[in-house]
């Protein structure tokens, strides 16, 4: 027994089992140390790149640190040179007897490069309104004529109520004379991202007045919104419904409304459920519910502001809100409302859509909260649009009086 136990074959097996156990026990340690070492080397390489490459014209994103590219670097250098010139002027003048000290410009470090990146981003996104002495001049814009362009009843009616649609969009978007960032795009006027010539709005554009903002909106309506309704909506709609559909397409785009082209992921777009419901002849209330499907922004995140805007479009589509009532409302006043005050249970139903509340108590509460601000819709639209809205309102009252008198005569 003892001689067979200490044979070369048994000793070899014992040694191999011992080595295998040691390897199994030590493997996690070696793997962890290897990855920690590689991560440490990457971190050192990042620090080295930050120290050496911030002076070059290359663009490198390492971790959370962004190195300036050549355009940003040149822009920041010019900005610093202007600041140094202003400081030197102040030094020469010696205002109030105090001498301003100007330090020599030293070699830029990585932290200064990151600070310069923030300064450049701030300058580009926030225009200096005090330093901008450009006047609000009305731009000369020639719009395409809509006379005899549309053959359907919807298209012809859209041309007649164009001012009402502009007023509805102004109520939802509000008026901004200077460019601002909205949804990652430069926006101006009544939520316009593109100029009538097709060029996108930039943060360096001059401020525009109310008339130019109206022309920007009309150009977008005639180029993108009205043709989509003319071509893809096969049901005759009244004025309130056309206003709601136009405001909806103005917000989401004709491609998402009618299912044109491909999305950002390369998938073919499908027609919206709202368009399918309208063309299939469903009830106005059921069609309005489909509008609540467009409630997310920024990667599928629920946006309550979009739900509030969808409710206004639903109220117009279901004839619970008249176009003449828009003049006394506060621009953007619907954002003062809560989702639980507008939709049943304040959440989506089982099918994923929201059921709007449009009873008399809800409408009174909404109109009361939408008139809390100082500004009204008539304060942010130009004189031409205001006069057209008032004339249409007077004509509507006159038409109602004539129909009421005819009913009384027939009853007598």
Same domain, 311 and 374: yes
Q: How many CB atoms within 10 Å of residue 76?
A: 20
- Both 184 and 333 in one domain: the answer is yes
Query: Is 138 inside any structural domain?
Result: no
Residue 340, domain member (yes or no): yes
Q: Does residue 135 form part of some domain?
A: no
Residue 375 lies in a domain: yes
Residue 103: pLDDT band by 50, 70, 90 thresholds? very low
Residue 19 in domain: yes
Provide the pLDDT confidence category of residue 412 given band limits of 50, 70 and 90. Answer: very low
Same domain for 295 and 192: yes
Per-residue pLDDT at 297: 73
How high is the pLDDT of residue 67? 45
Q: Looking at the structure, do residues 28 and 84 belong to the same domain, yes or no?
A: no
| 31-49 average pLDDT score | 67
Q: What local confidence, expressed as pLDDT, does residue 283 receive?
A: 92
Cα distances (angstroms) measured from residue 337 to each of 25, 60, 362, 363, 370: 63, 45, 11, 12, 8
On whether both 263 and 186 belong to a single domain, the answer is yes
Shared domain check, 218 and 114: no
Query: Which residues, in sequence order, are bridge partners of residue 182?
Result: 185
Question: How crowded is residue 288: how many other Cβ atoms within 10 Å of its Cβ?
Answer: 28
Give yes or no: residues 163 and 304 share one domain: yes
Backbone angles phi, psi at 125, to 5 degrees: -90, -25
Give the pLDDT score at 402. 52
Which domain CATH number covers 354? 1.10.530.40
Single out the residue of 103, 81, 106 nearest to residue 91, CA to CA.
103
Is the pLDDT confidence value at 99 over 80? no
Nearest to 339 by CA among 322, 356, 314: 356
pLDDT at 367 over 50: yes
Q: Is the domain of 77 the same as that of 187?
A: no
Residue with tokens 């981003």: 121
CA atoms of 23 and 357, how far apart (whole Å): 69
Report residue 26 as tokens.
């030590």
Residue 335 and residue 193 share a domain: yes
Assigned domain for 392 exists: no
Residue 221 has pLDDT above 70, yes or no: yes
Cα–Cα distance, 212 to 178 (Å, whole number):
12
Calpha distance 252→34 (Å, rounded): 50
Count of domains observed in the chain? 3
Is the model more confident about 118 or about 300? 300
Let me know if residue 263 belongs to a domain.
yes
pLDDT above 90 (res 5): no
Query: pLDDT class for 137, splitting at 50, 70, 90?
Result: low
CA–CA dist 342, 345 (Å, integer): 9
- The pLDDT of residue 179 is 92
Q: Tell me, yes or no, whether 264 and 181 share the same domain.
A: yes
Query: Is 402 within a domain?
Result: no
What's residue 284's pLDDT?
92
Q: Is the pLDDT of residue 106 over 80?
A: no
**Band of pLDDT at residue 130, cut at 50, 70 and 90:** very low
Report the distance separating Cα 367 and Cα 325, nearest Å. 9
What 3-state DSSP class applies to 29? helix
- Measure the CA–CA gap between 97 and 76, rounded to whole angstroms: 31
Of the pLDDT bands very low, low, confident and very high (cuts 50, 70, 90), residue 46 is low
Closest CA to 304 of 275, 273, 345, 346: 346
198 and 278 together in one domain: yes
Instruction: Tell me which residue range forms the domain holding 90.
Output: 66-95+104-125
Question: DSSP letters of 189-200?
Answer: ETTB-B-TTSPB
Pairing mode, strands 301-302 and 296-297: antiparallel
Are 191 and 296 in the same domain?
yes
Digit-coded pLDDT (tens) for 249-287: 999 999 999 998 888 788 889 999 999 999 999 999 999
């Amino acid at each position: 027994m003892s001689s067979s136990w200490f044979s070369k074959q048994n000793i070899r097996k014992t040694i191999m089992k011992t080595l295998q156990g040691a390897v199994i026990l030590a493997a996690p340690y070696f793997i962890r140390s290897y990855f920690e070492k590689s991560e440490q080397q990457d971190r050192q390489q990042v620090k080295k790149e930050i120290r050496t490459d911030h002076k070059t014209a290359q663009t490198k994103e390492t971790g959370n640190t962004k190195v300036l590219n050549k355009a940003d670097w040149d822009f920041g250098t010019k900005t610093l040179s202007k600041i140094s010139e202003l400081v030197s002027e102040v030094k020469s003048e010696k205002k109030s007897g105090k001498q301003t000290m100007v330090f020599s410009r030293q070699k830029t470090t990585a932290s200064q490069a990151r600070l310069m990146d923030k300064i450049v981003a701030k300058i580009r996104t926030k225009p200096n309104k005090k330093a901008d002495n450009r006047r609000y001049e009305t731009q000369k814009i020639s719009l395409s004529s809509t006379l005899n362009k549309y053959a359907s009843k919807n298209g012809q009616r859209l041309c007649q109520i164009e001012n009402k649609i502009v007023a509805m969009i102004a109520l939802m978007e509000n008026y901004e004379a200077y460019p601002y960032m909205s949804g990652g795009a430069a926006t101006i006027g009544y939520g316009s991202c593109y100029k009538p010539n097709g060029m996108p709005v930039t943060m360096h554009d001059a401020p525009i007045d109310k008339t130019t903002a109206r022309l920007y909106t009309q150009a977008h309506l005639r180029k993108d919104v009205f043709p989509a309704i003319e071509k893809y909506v096969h049901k005759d709609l009244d004025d309130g419904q056309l206003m709601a559909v136009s405001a909806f397409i103005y917000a989401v785009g004709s491609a998402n409304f009618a299912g044109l082209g491909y999305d950002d992921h390369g998938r073919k777009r499908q027609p919206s459920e709202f368009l399918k419901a309208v063309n299939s002849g469903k009830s106005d209330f059921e069609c309005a519910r489909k509008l609540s499907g467009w409630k997310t922004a920024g990667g599928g995140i629920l946006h309550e502001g979009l739900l509030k805007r969808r409710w206004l479009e639903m109220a117009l589509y279901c004839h619970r809100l008249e176009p003449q009532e828009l003049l006394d409302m506060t621009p953007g006043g619907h954002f003062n409302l809560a989702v639980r005050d507008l939709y049943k249970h304040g959440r989506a139903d089982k099918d994923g859509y929201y059921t709007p509340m449009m009873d008399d108590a809800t409408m009174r509460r909404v109109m009361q909260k939408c008139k809390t601000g100082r500004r009204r819709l008539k304060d942010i639209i130009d004189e031409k649009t205001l006069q057209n809205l008032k004339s249409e309102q007077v004509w509507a009252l006159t038409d109602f009086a004539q129909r009421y008198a005819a009913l009384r005569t027939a009853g007598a």
